[in-house]
Amino acid sequence: MSDWSPPTLSRGQLAGLIVGLLAVAAYSLVIAQQLLLVIFPAAAVVVVYLAWRFVVAVEAIADALQRLAAHKPDE
């Protein structure tokens, strides 16, 4: 097994993301009084995170295939 592991969000980034979503939630509930306003930013964050994880997975697969090709004996 390789010692490669996908990058993760730092605690500061995660805390900033949570604080930002809580601020949007507070605004949407207290000021605008519309619950659905918090759904769109939260969904956007989830979609961006899943897209980022997909790209990391594809990069890991490509890296593994390159390592396999480098170790394959020439025929």
Q: Would you list the domain boundaries of the chain? A: 11-71
Q: What is the pTM of this model?
A: 0.66
C-alpha to C-alpha distance for 34 and 52, rounded to whole angstroms = 29
Which pLDDT score is estimated for 56?
Answer: 86
Which pLDDT score is estimated for 73?
Answer: 79
The pLDDT of residue 38 is above 60 = yes
Q: Which residue has the higher pLDDT, 68 or 35?
A: 68
What's the rounded mean pLDDT across residues 53-64? 90
The pLDDT of residue 62 is above 90 = yes
Which pLDDT score is estimated for 47?
Answer: 93
Which alpha helices (DSSP H) does 1-75 contain, by range? 11-26, 39-71
